[in-house]
Amino acid sequence: MKIAVYGQYYKDNTEDIIIKVLEVLNNHNAEIAFETNFYNVLIENNFLNITYPTFASHKELESGFDMFISIGGDGTMLRAATFVRDKNIPILGINAGRLGFLATVQQEDIEKLLPLIFTKEYKISSRTLLSLNYEGKDKELEDLDYALNEVTVSRKDTTSMITIETRLNGDYLNSYWADGLIISTPTGSTGYSLSCGGPILTPDVNSLVVTPIAPHNLNARPLVIPDDTDIELIVSSREEQHLVSLDSRIIAIDVETKLCIKKTDFKIHLVEFPQEKFLDTLRKKLLWGEDKRN
């Protein structure tokens, strides 16, 4: 089995995690390659005593890998998706962070769960992605291309609100007067959108959520739409530019630019172990059932 290993940070507990991961992978004679920056930090910390092949970008990650292991929090998983893109390589998230909605394997479970990838005792949870297009889009922005959680427009360099003219499949929906607007996938529905009052969608639902950020029109509400909808946004503002983000990545764009958002024709495949299903994660992270009154 060919396995890619990725992490963004080197912290106190990284060594412990890597030891456990490498032990399982080596016991199963896996072929291992590391993401270049992560590899360099491991080398600097005298952690690896043999050399491994590396990959520096999505272009260098061949589709021949059987699994992509992400070591970190949900932010690292979002970044992992930008390496994998349309290559159909399943992503397994080991949670070194706090929340762990996407990175679901806890450190203490590595030895128990990781061997299951070699016996194929896991399920794949396929996740919808969003793409953003607009006239004049720079080739350099390729890395921003796909969002696993959400595409967000928001105000820049001003406290005054922006107006977001929104069309669905060409039909006018609304002009939101707000701090911003979130177009969320089911995966992203437990992220920023949830904090702005959006509903939670289970990952397999074929829908998107349009969630305004602090709208001044109090009757503007989150809206669930089919995920094959072509969404068009045009922002107007007192400033010349506004922000657009795809997951953790952000850029400034001129106001009045027509932004086209739609789902991609490929999905990201997350590894899901029977012990760590979405509903279990949801219950645990949102502390459902912890209220002793019920």
Ligand X SMILES: Nc1ncnc2c1ncn2[C@@H]1O[C@H](COP(=O)(O)OP(=O)(O)OP(=O)(O)O)[C@@H](O)[C@H]1O
Ligand Y SMILES: NC(=O)c1ccc[n+]([C@@H]2O[C@H](COP(=O)([O-])OP(=O)(O)OC[C@H]3O[C@@H](n4cnc5c(N)ncnc54)[C@H](O)[C@@H]3O)[C@@H](O)[C@H]2O)c1
Q: Which residues are catalytic?
A: 74
Residue 232 contact, options ligand Y, ligand X, none, Cβ 5-8 Å cut-off depending on partner type:
none
Give the torsion through C-alpha atoms of 39, 20, 22, 19, to 10 deg: 50
How far apart, in whole angstroms, are the C-alpha atoms of residue 148 and residue 212?
18
Q: Tell me the per-residue interface mask from 83 to 122 with ligand X, x by CB under 6 A, - otherwise.
A: -------------xxxxx----------------------
187 touches ligand Y by CB under 6 A: yes
Binding site partner of 72, from ligand X, ligand Y, none, Cβ cut-off 5-8 A by kind = ligand X
> Is residue 199 at the binding interface for ligand Y, with CB under 6 A as the rule?
no
**Residue pair 189/102 in contact by the 8 Å Cβ criterion:** no
User: 202: which residues sit within 8 A by CB, 6+ positions away?
Assistant: 186, 278, 279
Query: Which strands make up the sheet holding 146-147, listed edge to edge?
Result: 146-147, 130-133, 258-263, 231-236, 162-168, 171-178
Asked if 99 touches ligand Y (CB under 6 A), the answer is: yes
Site string for ligand X, 10-29 (x = CB under 6 A): -x-xx--x------------
Q: Based on the shown chain and the rule CB under 6 A, indicate whether residue 190 belongs to the binding site for ligand Y.
A: yes
Binding mask 259-288 for ligand Y (x = CB under 6 A): ------------------------------
Residues 165, 259: Cα–Cα separation, whole Å: 10
Those residues with Cβ within 8 angstroms of residue 183's Cβ, 6 or more apart along the chain or in another chain: 130, 150, 151, 152, 208, 209, 210, 231, 233, 261
Q: Of residues 98, 139, 292, 293, which one binds ligand Y by CB under 6 A?
A: 98
Helix, strand, or coil here: 280?
helix
* Residue 173, binding choice from ligand X, ligand Y, none, Cβ under 5 to 8 Å by partner class: none
N residues, the chain: 294
CA dist., res. 179 & res. 158, Å (int) = 10
Does residue number 195 form part of the binding site for ligand Y (CB under 6 A)?
yes
Q: Which residues are annotated as a binding site for NAD(+)?
A: 74-75, 79, 149-150, 179, 190-195, 214
Known binding-site residues equal 74-75, 79, 149-150, 179, 190-195, 214
Q: Give me the residues that bind ligand Y (CB under 6 A), please.
A: 73-75, 78, 98-99, 101-102, 149-150, 187-188, 190-192, 195, 247-248
